[in-house]
Amino acid sequence: MLKEHVNGFENIGASLNDFKNFHRNVKCYIHERDGQLFIDHFKEMAVNKEGFFFDYDVDSDGSLSRAIWADSAARRNYSAFGDSLVAHEDADSFQWVLKRFLVAMGGKEPNYIITDQDAGILKAVPLVFKKARHRFCMWHIMNKVPTKYGVTREDYIVFIRKINTIIWDEDIEAAEFDARWEEIGEEHGLNNIDWFKEMFSKRNQWVMAHCRDLEMGASAMDQQRHTHKKLDNEDKHTSPKLETHLAVEADAAKVYTHKVFKEFQEEAKYSIDTCKSRGFAEIDSLEVTTVRDASRDRNYDVTYCPGKSFEY
């Protein structure tokens, strides 16, 4: 929404982390004092600022449990665009927020709503919104791909490049997407992974090629594309900081995205303290190293073929 106020991401003047830090500081400030301070402040704004909407709720012991507010500019933008809402809480809180949201926006439902796949929001949206089309956030879904597929698989880098090509392509058509997904699935075994099968069955709720009928220009889709391009640029033009003496860490930094490399790096740092080599042998031209994992009190035989190369 801030992007609409300042006419573009380039004019915001703050990063996503800046907003996260501000949110954290606000929560700490309220926690150390009284939730009533928060309520009083927004009540005063609702009285003194024309068009400002505020509502809140408390739990059984009187503590502030949820709140919603919108200034006049936000309400005007919503009236003009009617585009999206993103949130994540339990089912009851979702219903409360969505109902108050309708009140704040004069009873007008959004054209569509973009959220993550939280079970609470999946339950709450159809109970409150009867016309809005519910879409899933592509960023949240693509964030799960590495863990669902497995970053340690030898073909991971090849796979992630292929899947990104069809997911983020703004021009690909639905039939072409389906054909390419099936092709990639056969090559990399996606049909054996339940999560990928589920995501494909719900492709009309998150894949751009299957959402041509929606007006996405002023929506969160613009933000997702912006974030994707920003991360791509960082991966291409910056190098992550190495934190161990391991040669494999330096190699991983060259082939993984920054996000995946960070996960790998944490595992590498952990292994230095817990995993030690306990023996070495050559068996049928293969090098076999016995590794002791102290944290699990187990030994593992790691096999390496010196002549084998991998495609990244």
Asked whether residue 16 is assigned to any structural domain, the reply reads no
Same domain, 101 and 156: no
List the structure tokens of 194: 């339940």
Instruction: Give the residue among 141, 72, 57, 150 at the shortest CA–CA distance from 105.
Output: 72
Quick check: 292 and 266 in contact, CB under 8 A?
Answer: no
Banded model confidence at residue 217, pLDDT cuts 50, 70, 90: very low
Residue scoring higher pLDDT (172 or 28)? 172
- Average of pLDDT values for 253-276? 84
Question: Domain ends where: 237, 271, 293?
Answer: 237
Each residue of 185-211: pLDDT tens digit?
999 999 889 999 999 999 988 888 887
- pLDDT at residue 60 tops 70: yes
Backbone torsions φ then ψ of 228, nearest 5 degrees: -60, -45
Range of the domain at 42: 34-136
User: Does one domain contain both 112 and 194?
Assistant: no
Is 87 part of any domain? yes
pLDDT tens column, 70-88: 776 665 555 444 444 643 4
pLDDT bracket for residue 267 (50, 70, 90): confident
Same domain, 201 and 251: no
Q: Is the pLDDT of residue 2 over 60?
A: no
The highest-confidence range among 82-91, 109-118, 240-249, 296-305, by mean pLDDT, is 240-249
Domain co-membership, 285 together with 216: no
pLDDT score at 10 = 57
- Among the candidates 136, 155, 174, a domain finishes at 136
Q: Which of 136, 164, 195 lies at the terminal end of a domain, its last residue?
A: 136
Q: What is the pLDDT of residue 181?
A: 95
Q: Mean pLDDT in the chain?
A: 77
Is residue 289 classed exposed, middle or buried when 0-12, 13-18 and 19+ CB atoms within 10 A define those classes?
middle
In the structure, what pLDDT confidence band is assigned to residue 224 with cuts at 50, 70 and 90? low
Q: How far is CA 84 from CA 42, 52, 200, in A?
A: 23, 19, 23
Predicted confidence at residue 219, as pLDDT, reads 62
CB 176 within 8 A of CB 144: no
Which pLDDT score is estimated for 26? Answer: 62
Domain count, the chain: 3
| Same domain flag for 211 and 268 | no
Average pLDDT over residues 164-191: 90
* Helix/strand/coil for 14: coil
pLDDT at 215: 54
Classify residue 42: in a domain, yes or no: yes
The answer to whether residues 100 and 181 belong to one domain is no
Does 311 fall in a domain? no
Residue 309 within any structural domain of the chain:
no
**What number of other Cβ atoms are within 10 A of residue 285's Cβ?**
8
